[in-house]
Amino acid sequence: MASVSQSIPESVTAAGVDGAAVPDGETSRIPALIAEELERAMSCSREVIDLAVTTFAAGGHLLLEDVPGVGKTTLARALAQAIGGEVHRVQFTPDMLPSDLTGVNIWSQGEGGFVFHRGPLFANIVIADEINRANPKTQSAMLEAMSEGQISVDGVSHTLPDPYFVVATQNPIELEGTYPLPEAQLDRFMACTSFGYPDAASESRMITADDWSHPLGRVRRVCDPAAAVRIRAAARRVTIADPVADYIVALSRATRDRDGVRYGASPRASLYLAAMARARAMFDGRSYVLPEDVQQLAVPVFAHRLVLDDAGYGGESLAAARAIVADVVRAVPVPRA
Residues 184 and 273 occupy one common structural domain: no
What is the structure's pLDDT at 5?
35
Rounded to 5 degrees, what are φ and ψ at 10? -60, -35
Percent of the chain with pLDDT over 70: 83
Count of structural domains, the chain: 2
123: pLDDT strictly greater than 80: yes
Q: Which of 77-91, 239-253, 271-285 has the lowest mean pLDDT?
A: 77-91
pLDDT digits (tens, 9 = 90+) for 184-234: 888 899 999 887 776 777 667 667 665 555 677 778 888 888 888 999 999
82: pLDDT strictly greater than 80: yes
Q: Buried (b) or exposed (e) across 147-156, using 16+ Cβ within 10 A?
A: eeeebebeee
Confidence of residue 73 (pLDDT cuts 50, 70, 90): confident
* Residues 276 and 288: beta-carbon distance below 8 Å: no
192 pairs with which residues across the strands?
A: 63
What is the structure's pLDDT at 42?
77
Q: Which of 1-15, 32-46, 50-64, 278-292 has the lowest mean pLDDT?
A: 1-15
Rounded to 5 degrees, what are φ and ψ at 308? -90, 155
300: pLDDT strictly greater than 70: yes
pLDDT digits (tens, 9 = 90+) for 227-274: 889 999 999 999 999 999 999 999 999 999 998 899 899 999 999 999
Kindly report the CATH number assigned to the domain that includes residue 173: 3.40.50.300
Owning domain of residue 278: 238-337
pLDDT digits (tens, 9 = 90+) for 127-142: 898 888 888 888 888 8
Give Cβ neighbours of residue 317 (< 8 Å, ≥ 6 apart).
Answer: 308, 311
Residues 245 and 221 occupy one common structural domain: no
Residues 254 and 290 occupy one common structural domain: yes
Residue 102 lies in a domain: no
Residues 232 and 244 occupy one common structural domain: no
Alpha-carbon gap, residue 181 to 186, rounded angstroms: 6
What is the structure's pLDDT at 219?
83
Short-list 56, 52, 55, CA closest to 42: 52
Residues 62 and 188 occupy one common structural domain: yes
Short-list 309, 307, 215, CA closest to 269: 307
What is the structure's pLDDT at 70?
65
Alpha-carbon gap, residue 251 to 329, rounded angstroms: 7
Residue 279 lies in a domain: yes
Give Cβ neighbours of residue 305 (< 8 Å, ≥ 6 apart).
Answer: 183, 186, 187, 263, 264, 265, 266, 269
* Residues 69 and 197: beta-carbon distance below 8 Å: no
pLDDT digits (tens, 9 = 90+) for 7-37: 334 434 333 333 333 334 577 788 888 998 8
Kindly report the CATH number assigned to the domain that includes residue 278: 1.10.8.80
